[in-house]
């Protein structure tokens, strides 16, 4: 059993020359669930994209390591095979490539040539996960994310998570646009991943998600930094009182990235 | 006028004709075309300059090749398209210009179907061949390349389906180019008489690298009253083979021609595919996929001309350009005066995978009649980096991500090809062409 650690130190990230993250420090270990909360425009999604290696984001300072390995030196696919996963807020649509075909490529990308997963085993696994996520079986044969509703896309991200079984997953606003029933289903999938080998970072605006997936650590992000960290009680206080008390406490007037 | 270098002369043509015991009319047609070839201009495919391309220089007009003894003795690339498990019952294999294997099911023979190589057709079915050979579909004097073709035909196949005969299994022809000196002047004629139907699939396969060669291919499809022809082709000719391929059909009333074309050549290629919808109520459907790589240049003109009333023409072409490949997709829907209630639809899409790849899609509708419907869609674009990012974020390598995107881009055409054999072949061929 291997417990992984994702370590982010003094991370600065710019997009189109504008600095969005201004020194983020964070450590996520296998077995831990973290949540990053914060109002819009504070840099939460930038953090997730930077970790995965989105082509538009430039790392200007700091480091990201996974079990001591330099993540920033890796290509996007190498990061994924090293054990990172990002459930995206806006997954791409790819015409002509079926969901099943895509998932199987993702699974096989982690296996040696000649040791590809058997079709039967793959289908059994996929069917099981789709049942749990209450997805129609025909979603396997539909083109990847094409014409999927918002909720279907989110479920599909979690289906990938469950299929790929990464070491550390980042879920970028996995709750946005979900009604309460869908949220429960998606949460069920995420909770099924819990274990010593799996660490998770959830990025969200709302406490609502955290009612279904209890985090061990909650961080608040403002002005491109983590300004406050605590346990799950912090999320509850944010739900009850909003963000103003933190701004007052820290003397922040405008929480967005300037 | 620039002087053209010819790799064959009049004497060579006479000798070739004599050696094959050709009827006199054919020799005369050859010589007549050869005389015109010098004067006639090259065709002018829209937006591609071909006047510096080599259409006339090649190793030899007539190479001797030992026939293959059986389907099992074919080179691997040819076996793959023949299907080792369950090869077509009716199949012709040609090695360079040499007829090599000819199987025709007894059922088809009894029904009066003629399926034979070009030289045999000239000897044994001269009247029929004379009736159809470059007389009503493609004419020798259209331009330099059709004239050269008529003069130098050195291979091909003749398929004749009598009226009311419906052939269920596909008829296949495999043209293997495995001599670097060989030049292919292949002529294919498919005649489907009234109320008949046939599916014909052909493959052009190079298994040899060459420094300089030519393929000049003409297909003529004649679909009779209410006949149905499904014509499939997968071309995989080598780099340095300059290809001119003209596949053209004409329809009698209520006839239908479906084209399923995969042009995967590695050399410069001019491809012309035309259907003349002459008879009322006739129908043409062209589906084409193309992959370009290296620094090849290709021009694809797909045209449907509506003469008859109530005719329908559909064109669907998708192409992927890699490396420094260039391609022009011209789609032409032409509705002549009097072809009322006709419908011309076309869609062309080009995906470029690299900075240096070039693609262009030109949809053209020429309409001379009021009471018709027509439509077109075209797009040319580069691969979306966010799609690649998304796929790669799941651990898929860049190469595999590109493969998926290409496959996905071509899928709407490939998946809808009416001929299962062509669909399967293309999936494999595309895979190979994309991977290398």
Question: Which is nearest to B182 in space by CA: B160, B206, B148?
Answer: B206
Q: What is the pLDDT of residues B224-263, one digit of tens each?
A: 999 999 999 999 999 999 999 999 999 999 999 999 999 9
What is the predicted pLDDT for the residue at B255?
Answer: 98
Give the pLDDT mean for B349-376: 95
Query: What total of structural domains would you count in chain B?
Result: 1
Asked if B389 has any chain A CB less than 8 Å from its own CB, the reply is: yes
B282 pLDDT above the threshold of 90:
yes
Contact B393 A52 (CB under 8 A): yes
- Report yes or no: A132 at the B interface, CB cutoff 8 Å: no
pLDDT band at B432 (very low <50, low <70, confident <90, very high): confident
Q: Is B294 left (phi over 0), alpha (psi -120 to 50) or beta?
A: left
Q: Residue B412 falls within a domain, yes or no? A: no
Average pLDDT over residues A206-215: 92
Share above pLDDT 70 across residues of chain B, in percent, rounded to a whole number: 98
Contact assignment for B405 to A94 by CB distance below 8 Å: yes
Tens digits of per-residue pLDDT, B56-66? 988 889 898 99
Nearest to B392 among A76, A101, A164 (CB): A76
pLDDT above 70: residue B3: no
Q: Is B411 on the interface with A (CB under 8 A)?
A: yes
User: Would you state the structure tokens that stand for residue A174, as one six-digit string?
Assistant: 């996995």
Burial of B214 (0-12, 13-18, 19+ CB in 10 A): buried
Chain B contact set for A77 (CB, 8 A) = 392-393, 395-398, 401
Question: Is residue B431 in some structural domain?
Answer: no
Note the pTM of the prediction, 2 decimals: 0.88
Tens-place pLDDT, residues A98-132: 999 999 999 999 998 889 999 999 999 999 999 99
Give which of A56, A75, A76 to mutate to test B binding, by max B Cβ within 10 Å: A76
**Cα of A107 to nearest chain B Cα, Å:** 8
Pick the CATH number of A5-94+165-250 from 3.40.50.300, 3.30.43.10, 3.40.50.12160, 3.40.630.30: 3.40.50.300
Q: Assess if residue B420 is contained within a domain.
A: no
Q: What's the CA angle centered on A159, arms A157 and A164, to 5 degrees?
A: 95
The answer to whether residue B208 neighbours chain A at the CB level (below 8 Å) is no
Instruction: At A247, list the tokens.
Output: 């701004």
B404 Cα to chain A: minimum distance (Å):
7
Cβ contact, residue pair A92, B386, below 8 Å = yes
Q: Which of A62, A26, A30, A60 is nearest to A44 (CA)?
A: A26
Q: Residue B309: count other Cβ atoms within 10 Å of its Cβ.
A: 19
Burial class of residue B279, CB neighbours in 10 A (0-12, 13-18, 19+):
buried
pLDDT at position B89, please? 87
Please indicate whether, in this complex, the C-beta atoms of A143 and B392 are within 8 angstroms of each other: no
Closest chain B residue to A146, measured at CA? B408
Provide, rounded to the nearest whole percent, the portion of chain A with pLDDT above 90: 92
- Answer yes or no: are the C-beta atoms of A219 and A226 closer than 8 Å: yes
Test A160 with B412 for CB contact under 8 angstroms.
Answer: no
For A32, how many CA atoms within 13 A lie in the half-sphere containing its CB? 17
Once rounded to an integer, what is the mean pLDDT over residues B118-128? Answer: 97
Q: What is the mean pLDDT of chain B?
A: 94
- Which chain A residues touch B408 with a CB distance below 8 Å? 94-97, 143-144
Model confidence band, residue B1 (pLDDT cutoffs 50, 70, 90): very low
Phi, psi of B240 (to 5 degrees): 70, 0
> Is B392 among the domain residues?
no
- d(CA B382, nearest CA chain A) in Å: 14
Find the domain containing B95 and state its range.
Answer: 10-382
The arithmetic mean of pLDDT across residues A175-192, rounded, is 95
Q: What is the pLDDT of residue A123?
A: 94
A53 vs B: CB within 8 A: yes
A113 touches chain B (CB under 8 A): no
Could you tell me if residue B1 is inside a domain? no
Q: Is the confidence metric ipTM above 0.90 for this complex? A: yes
């Amino acid at each position: 059993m291997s417990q992984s650690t994702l370590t982010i130190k003094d991370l600065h990230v710019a997009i189109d020359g504008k600095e969005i993250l201004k020194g983020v420090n964070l450590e996520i270990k296998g077995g831990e669930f973290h949540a990053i909360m914060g109002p819009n425009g504070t840099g939460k999604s930038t953090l997730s994209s930077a970790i995965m290696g989105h082509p538009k984001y430039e790392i200007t300072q700091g480091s990201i390591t996974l079990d001591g390995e330099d993540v920033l030196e890796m290509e996007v696919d190498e990061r994924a095979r090293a054990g990172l996963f990002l459930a995206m807020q806006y997954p791409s649509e790819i015409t002509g490539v079926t969901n099943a075909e895509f998932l199987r490529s993702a699974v096989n990308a982690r296996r040696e040539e000649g040791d590809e997963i058997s079709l039967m085993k793959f289908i059994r696994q996929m069917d099981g996960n789709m049942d749990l996520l209450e997805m129609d079986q025909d979603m396997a044969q539909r083109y990847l994310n094409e014409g999927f509703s918002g909720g279907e896309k989110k479920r599909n991200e979690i289906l990938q998570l469950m299929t790929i079984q990464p070491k550390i997953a980042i879920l970028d606003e996995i709750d946005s646009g979900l009604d309460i029933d869908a949220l429960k289903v998606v949460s069920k999938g995420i909770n099924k991943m819990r274990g010593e080998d799996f660490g998770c970072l959830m990025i969200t605006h709302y406490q609502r998600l955290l009612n279904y997936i209890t985090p061990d650590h909650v961080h608040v992000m403002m002005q491109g930094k983590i300004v406050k960290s605590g346990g799950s009680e912090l999320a509850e206080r944010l739900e009850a009182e909003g963000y103003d008390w933190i701004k007052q406490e820290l003397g922040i007037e405008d929480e967005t990235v300037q | 006028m620039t002087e053209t270098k010819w790799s064959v002369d009049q004497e060579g043509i006479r000798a070739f004709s004599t050696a094959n015991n050709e009827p006199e009319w054919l020799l005369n047609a050859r010589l007549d075309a050869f005389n015109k070839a010098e004067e006639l201009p090259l065709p002018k495919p829209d937006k591609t300059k071909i006047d510096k391309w080599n259409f006339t220089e090649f190793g030899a007009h007539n190479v001797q090749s030992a026939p293959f003894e059986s389907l099992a003795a074919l080179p691997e690339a040819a076996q793959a398209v023949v299907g080792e498990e369950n090869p077509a019952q009716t199949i012709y294999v040609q090695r360079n210009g040499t007829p090599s294997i000819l199987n025709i099911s007894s059922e088809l023979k009894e029904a009066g179907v003629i399926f034979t190589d070009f030289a045999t057709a000239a000897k044994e079915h001269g009247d029929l061949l004379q009736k159809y050979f470059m007389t009503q579909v493609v004419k020798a004097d259209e331009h330099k390349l059709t004239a050269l073709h008529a003069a130098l035909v050195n291979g091909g196949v003749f398929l004749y389906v009598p009226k009311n005969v419906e052939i269920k299994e596909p008829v296949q022809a495999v043209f293997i180019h495995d001599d670097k000196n060989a030049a292919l002047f292949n002529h294919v004629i498919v005649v489907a008489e009234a109320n008949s139907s046939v599916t014909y699939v052909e493959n052009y396969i190079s298994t040899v690298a060459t420094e300089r060669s030519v393929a000049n291919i003409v297909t003529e499809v004649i679909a009779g009253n209410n006949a149905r022809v499904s014509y499939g082709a997968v071309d995989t000719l080598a780099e340095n083979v300059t290809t001119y391929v003209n596949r053209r059909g004409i329809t009698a009333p209520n006839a239908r021609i479906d084209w399923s074309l995969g042009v995967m050549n590695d050399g410069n290629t001019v491809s012309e595919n035309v259907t003349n919808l002459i008879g009322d109520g006739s129908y043409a459907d062209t589906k084409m996929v193309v992959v370009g790589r290296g620094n090849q240049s290709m021009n694809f003109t797909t045209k449907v001309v509506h003469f008859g009333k109530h005719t329908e023409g559909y064109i669907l072409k998708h192409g992927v350009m890699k490396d420094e490949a260039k391609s022009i997709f011209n789609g032409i829907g032409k509705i002549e005066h009097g072809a009322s209630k006709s419908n011309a639809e076309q869609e062309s899409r080009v995906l470029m995978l690299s900075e240096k790849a070039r693609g262009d899609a030109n949809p053209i509708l020429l309409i001379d009649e009021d009471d018709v419907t027509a439509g077109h869609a075209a797009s040319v674009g580069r691969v979306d980096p966010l799609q690649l990012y998304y796929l790669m974020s799941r651990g898929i390598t860049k190469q595999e991500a590109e493969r998926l995107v290409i496959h996905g881009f071509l899928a709407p055409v490939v998946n809808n090809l009416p001929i299962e054999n062509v669909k399967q072949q293309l999936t494999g061929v595309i895979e190979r062409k994309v991977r290398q």
